[in-house]
Amino acid sequence: FRHGEASEVVVPTPNGDVYFGERHPIVVVAGPCSVENEAMIVETAKRVKAAGAQFLRGGAYKPRTSPYAFQGYGESALDLLAAAREATGLGIVTELMDAADLSAVAKIADIIQIGARNMHNFSLLKKVGAQDKPVLLKRGMSATIDEWLMAAEYILASGNPNVILCERGIRTFDGKYARNTLDLSVLPVLRSLTHLPIMIDPSHGTGRSEYVPSMAMAAIAAGTDSLMIEVHPNPAKALSDGPQSLTPDKFDRLVQDMSVLGKVV
């Protein structure tokens, strides 16, 4: 069980240092599932920043279930994230899938995301543990809390103390109405077990944009430190995860509603 104070993860961004942790306002990471082109990523970045987000998310390397599905634009998408960072000053969160891309991703990312499918990839965890950028560690879709915490331990034990745990929904027996079961019970459970900051991702957690606002609000009520919300300027045309993406207008409304419950910005 946990001993001592909550730790904080401090992430320098062009707009200033952002603090993740129990003692700080809720940090919001928002943006599209995938980086599709310069106009969409820069436009989305401006909109989510105006709404109150501190970080832009966007995938360059996408871990798709099907090898025939869109795999992300790779290194060229990293350049577009750098352009969006430059245009807005937002920090960048993007996923690393392959250790071979670590230096390219670390060059532009302010936080490196390890996706649910790689939570058990111990050699990748050791590599992100042996570099300085903070790591967002998503829970594997069938990972127990102990397995998830041990995955975090791999990063910590390799020398990187800056780990944020992200719940993104676990496999469900009833995928008819929601893609996953968002396990909000991790909030009190993790609080009792770990000092690490916690993020909730209701977008992957539900798979449906219409369910995202209520789950984001519930996560705040249950004490989350941060949220990840997928936002796309035209969800119907998104190359990945359109059905779970909010429009910038809906995201803006959600952040306003969230700030009634907790300190968001």
Distance of closest approach, residue 260 Cβ to ligand PEP, in angstroms: 27
* 204 lines the binding site for ligand PEP (CB under 6 A): yes
Which one of Mn ion, ligand PEP, none is in contact with 138 (Cβ closer than 5 to 8 A by kind)? ligand PEP
Query: Which one among 241, 251, 255, 258 touches Mn ion, defined by CB under 5 A?
Result: 241
Is residue 213 classed as helix, strand or coil in its secondary structure? helix
Q: Could you tell me if 130 and 160 are in contact, meaning their C-beta atoms sit under 8 angstroms apart?
A: yes
Distance of closest approach, residue 154 Cβ to Mn ion, in angstroms: 24
Determine the interface stretch with Mn ion among 2-10, 25-33, 86-94, 181-189 (rule: CB under 5 A).
Answer: 25-33
* 49 lines the binding site for ligand PEP (CB under 6 A): no
Query: How far is the C-alpha of 181 from the C-alpha of 140, rounded, in Å?
Result: 13
Query: Which one among 59, 72, 134, 233 touches ligand PEP, defined by CB under 6 A?
Result: 59
- In the shown chain, the binding pattern of residues 24 to 43 toward ligand PEP, with x for contact by CB under 6 A and - for none, equals ---------x----------
Query: How far is the C-alpha of 200 from the C-alpha of 184, rounded, in Å?
Result: 8
Distance of closest approach, residue 182 Cβ to ligand PEP, in angstroms: 11
Write out the two tokens for 189. 């459970």
Q: Could you tell me if 221 and 260 are in contact, meaning their C-beta atoms sit under 8 angstroms apart?
A: no
Query: Which one among 115, 197, 202, 248 touches ligand PEP, defined by CB under 6 A?
Result: 115
* 168 lines the binding site for ligand PEP (CB under 6 A): yes
Distance of closest approach, residue 148 Cβ to ligand PEP, in angstroms: 12
Query: How far is the C-alpha of 232 from the C-alpha of 241, rounded, in Å?
Result: 9
Interface with Mn ion: number of residues (CB under 5 A): 2
Distance of closest approach, residue 227 Cβ to Mn ion, in angstroms: 14
Query: Which one among 12, 14, 16, 63 touches ligand PEP, defined by CB under 6 A?
Result: 63
Output 6-12 pairs: Cβ under 8 A, ≥24 positions apart: 6/195, 6/197, 7/161, 7/195, 7/196, 7/197, 8/197, 9/134, 9/162, 9/163, 9/164, 9/196, 9/197, 10/162, 11/55, 11/91, 11/110, 11/111, 11/134, 11/162, 12/110
Total residue length of the chain: 265
Beta bridge pairs of residue 228 = 29
Q: Could you tell me if 70 and 64 are in contact, meaning their C-beta atoms sit under 8 angstroms apart?
A: yes
CA dihedral 110, 163, 182, 63 (to 10 degrees): 60
Is the CB of 52 or the CB of 115 nearer to ligand PEP? 115
Determine the interface stretch with ligand PEP among 16-24, 83-91, 109-117, 253-261 (rule: CB under 6 A).
Answer: 109-117
Please report, as ranges, the residues that interact with Mn ion according to CB under 5 A: 33, 241
Please report, as ranges, the residues that interact with ligand PEP according to CB under 6 A: 33, 59, 63, 115-117, 138, 168, 204
